[in-house]
Amino acid sequence: MTVVRSAPTRELSAAVLHDVLRLRQDVFVLEQECLYPDIDGRDLEAGTVQFWAESAGGSVVATLRVLDEGDGVTRMGRVATAGVARGAGVAAQMVQAALATRRGPVVIDAQTHLEHWYARFGFVRDGAEFVEDGIPHLPMRLDG
């Protein structure tokens, strides 16, 4: 059983922040071979909130970042799930938890193959496909 937790990045313990960043690195940089600076400065912005799922043993098995884009718009991204937790609905639990805390529009840049997965939560395509780090993406939006 997993538990979804959330906190502003500035309030995370060093251990949780390490585990969140390590999981993002494992998934995006190592597994998907996206060579980009994941630590982009936005994690420490005042309105940034991290969501993470912990396994029964306390390991971080999924993560999601929420950014305040201003004008009431929220950006959700850096959704990553460890291989051992995929297919168990953990990412969906985190998305639902994140959306439950938001008011107003939420935008994402979804990997194109996940368009229908995000559509389950009400997201719709909001622009043309683009390639980022060699992976096709779609801008999507959920009006709240």
Residue 112 vs residues 43, 115, 119, 140: alpha-carbon distances, Å: 24, 5, 11, 10
pTM for this prediction: 0.90
**φ and ψ at residue 128, rounded to 5 degrees:** -80, 150
> Across residues 101-111, what is the average pLDDT?
94
Is the per-residue pLDDT at 140 higher than 90? Answer: yes
Give the count of alpha carbons within 13 A of 115, CB side only: 13
Q: What does pLDDT average to over the chain?
A: 92
Q: Tokens 């991204």 belong to which residue? A: 77
Residue 105 is predicted with a pLDDT of: 97
Residue 35 is predicted with a pLDDT of: 73
